[in-house]
Every structure is written in structure tokens, then in C-alpha cells.
Homo-oligomer: A and B are copies of this chain.
Amino acid sequence: MSVFRIGIAGLGVVGAETARQILTKQDRLSKRAGKNLKIIAVSARDRLKDRGFKLEEVFFYKDPLKLVEHDEIDVIIELIGGESGIAFDLCRKALQAGKHVVTANKAMIAHHGLSLSKLAEENDVTIQFEAAVAGGIPAVKILREGLAGNKIDTVAGILNGTCNYILSKMTSSQSTFQDVLEEAQQKGFAEADPSFDIDGVDAAHKLAILSSIAFKQKIKFSSLSISGIRHVSAIDVMYAGKLGFSLKLLGIARRDSTAEITMALIPSEEQLASVNGALNAVSYRGNPVESSICIGPGAGAGPTSSAVLADLIDVATGLANFAYGSPVETLSEQKLDENKLSQQCYYLRIAVTDRPGVLSEISAILRDYELSVASMIQNSHSNDGSVFLVLTTHKCTKKIIETAVSKISLSEHVLDSPMLIPIYDSGSFG
């Protein structure tokens, strides 16, 4: 069996697990790859840190770029992370030096994946990034190869485990966002600086990557509409449940529309609604496949290294090809069809003064915009003289409802900014 020589850049949680898997399961993985998989060099900050395995007869570098100079290395596994900086530098130079790259770096791929993939083509090597999206779900391969014969119209998913954990926990324990976030940070489910997760950026990275592959378009990360869960209120989580919905941070990309990361209410009988805890989910709709959904762990050392190893084996066996399924030059420019106005139902919560005539005033505004109410809850009178008016609408455009809501918020009886959340059911994904 010929030898396939590996350099690993970054021995954090995922890097260490990947190295451990290759070292301790070398026989099985090599048999699967048809080549003798051998780590010949690694790069990390601290050589002596105990990672649970021994790096013997392996070159060790503090500077990851040294891996590129290593003539024998066939593939560099980049697990440093970061949109630009050293990781991007390493990947570019590795590809230019004719080395394959396997990476879990979603920020880098969301921003530079197309240019890196082009660079790989020019140098007759490949860059693979299954681990950049939902590690435990082979989402990239499913879209790129498993559904290659389809015209995909929609990709939707729960793409950030931290947000899903927080929202699930707020639902099950009726806690506030802040309390659950702190608990998640203590347990290690959320970062000390959680903004990439809770502001939807991490989910947006994954959605951008999936969109390019699904639609065969050069999706620009800057085109995404991104919002997170930082302002979610326990009240909305509670009302969502009362109305038969789950509140989720959803990524949704429709062909020729702006891809968005948004809080959404999902009917509780939908599969996506029952994806709880730190799980991720990716669903697809296309022709002729109709639709399917995959659910699994999105992060963590095990699931992420599973994705890295799959790419490594594909690269070693020669089954890895164009990262987006076709040469980058064959992908279309991104299209945004402004006339393709999608309509959907909405959830609207308004804090109002508890006085006669308020409901009639708000109803009149909704009527003026031809917005029709599907259901409504008004809670019992509170001590401070305010009540919540919670309603769901029938389908309407985003523009109409937003205009109506800004008019509503001008009313002297409205005490706070109304909360507007779209409702997505599987029909919306079409």
C-alpha cells in the first residue's frame, strides 16, 4: 500500500481528536483509504501539552507555514480556524505548493471558499470542507453528490448548536436568555464571547457554504440577512409553545432570494421543530427528490473529526473533486430576484396599555394593510396596567407586515417595540 502523508495544523479539540483517530485507528482508516495514512508533521503552539496520544517520529512546528515547505506532505489538514489570518495564508500556500487541503474552517470557506477552490483547480489539487458545516451530518456531500441530479430550491436548517441549546433550554425550563446563556457557558456549550453564535454569524457561514453548493451560484457572504437570538424573550418562547410552535434560529436559503438567518416559529409537528438541544439539522427541497432532512450533532470533537476523516479518505482515494461539485468558473453569479416576493405567516407580540379601544386601534391598522389575523391571544390584566396582545397572521409579504408594525409602534398605547417573528412550515421551504 502506498503511503499518504498528512500534516495537521492546529491541535485544539478537533485537531487532537483527528490526530488521535488517525494514530489509534490507523489500520482501519488506511484499509478504507486504500493507502497507508501517516501523520508526518504537525503544527501547534505547545508541543508538550498532554493530548492523550504520543507524537513520535513526527515533525513538530510552531509555525504552520513550515508544513507547506515539507515536500513529502500530500495533504494539510487545517484546524486552526479564523476567516483570514494564518489559516487562510496556510491554505493558499498549501494549494499553491500542490498539496491537498482539508479544513473545518467555516468562516474562511464562507468568505474565501470559491477563490480557494479555484486555486485548488489551478494547482490540480483539491480543498475539502465537510467539517465546516454540521460535523455529524455529511451535508456538503449530500448536497454536492447525493443530490447532484436535482435542481435544489431550498436549503433550510438549524445550523448553530449553541443557539438551539439555548432556545430548547429556555423552552423546557422557562428560563431567561441570560440565565441559560450563563449556564451554557459554564458547561462549555457556549464560548466566553458568544457573539459569533448568538448573533447568527456562525450559522450564516454554514448557510452561505450550503447555498453555493445547492444553487451552484457564487453566493456572497455579505448578501446574507443575519439576525440572532440575543433579543429573544422568555415571553415569546412561552407564547410560541401556547400557539403550537417551537421557536428556533433558522437558516433558510431559497434559490434567487436573500438567504437569511432568523428566529422563526415552526409548527411543532414539523421534524425541524423537534430538533432540540445542541443538535443541528439540514433540510433540502428539490426536484426530483422532493424533500429530506438530516439531523445530527453539529459540533464537538467526535462529529467534526468524523467529517475531517471522511474528506481525508476521499482525498486519499482520489474521490475528492471539485468542492462545489463543478469547477468554480461554471457556477453562476448570485441572483437575487427582487420580484420573487415570498409570503409567509407572522407572529406578532405587542405590549399595550390595558385600556378600551386599543385592540380596535391595532385591528384597524392591520385591516388597512389587508393583514388578516389567524389567531390571537390577549393575556389577563397585569398589575402595571399593561397587557400583551399576541397574534399570528395569514400569509403576507415581509414589506407589508413591517410597514404595518412600524405604524402600530407609533400608537401611544404601544409600550415597547413589537416583536415580529416569521412562521415557517414545510410549505414555506418550497
Contacts and interface: CB of A to CB of B under 8 A. Distances in A.
Nearest to A304: B288
A292 interface: yes
A212 to B, nearest CB: 14
Nearest to A287: B302
A204 B314 CA distance: 29
Contact of A34 (B149, B271, B326): B326
A27 B27 CA distance: 43
A36 B6 CA distance: 36
Contacts of A305: 149, 288
A137 interface: yes
A293 interface: yes
Interface in A1-51: 17, 21, 25, 28-29, 31-32, 34
A297 interface: yes
A289 B32 contact: no
A130 interface: yes
Contacts of A408: none
Interface in A219-268: none
A419 B17 CA distance: 46
Contact of A148 (B286, B288, B301, B313): B313
B288 A21 contact: yes
B292 A297 contact: yes
Interface stretch (A139-147, A177-185, A367-375, A392-400): A139-147
Given A32-B148, A310-B149, A301 B288 contact: yes
A159 to B, nearest CB: 15
Contacts of A289: 135-136, 296-297, 302-303, 306
A294 interface: yes
A177 to B, nearest CB: 24
A218 B72 CA distance: 36
Given A290-B296, A290-B303, A325-B32, A148 B25 contact: no
A410 interface: no
Given A293-B294, A317-B321, A288 B17 contact: yes
A188 to B, nearest CB: 16
Nearest to A274: B274
B297 A29 contact: no
Contacts of A326: 31-32, 34
Given A293-B296, A309-B148, A313-B149, A302 B319 contact: no
Interface string A67-91: 0000000000000000000000000
Contacts of A302: 287-290
Contact of A149 (B32, B141, B325): B32
A146 B151 contact: no
A378 interface: no
Interface of A: 17, 21, 25, 28-29, 31-32, 34, 130, 135-138, 141-142, 145-151, 216, 269, 271, 274, 286-297, 300-303, 305-306, 308-310, 312-314, 317-319, 321, 325-326, 330
Ranked nearest first, the 5 interchain pairs of A and B with the lowest CB-CB distance are A149-B309, A138-B146, A292-B296, A288-B302, A289-B306
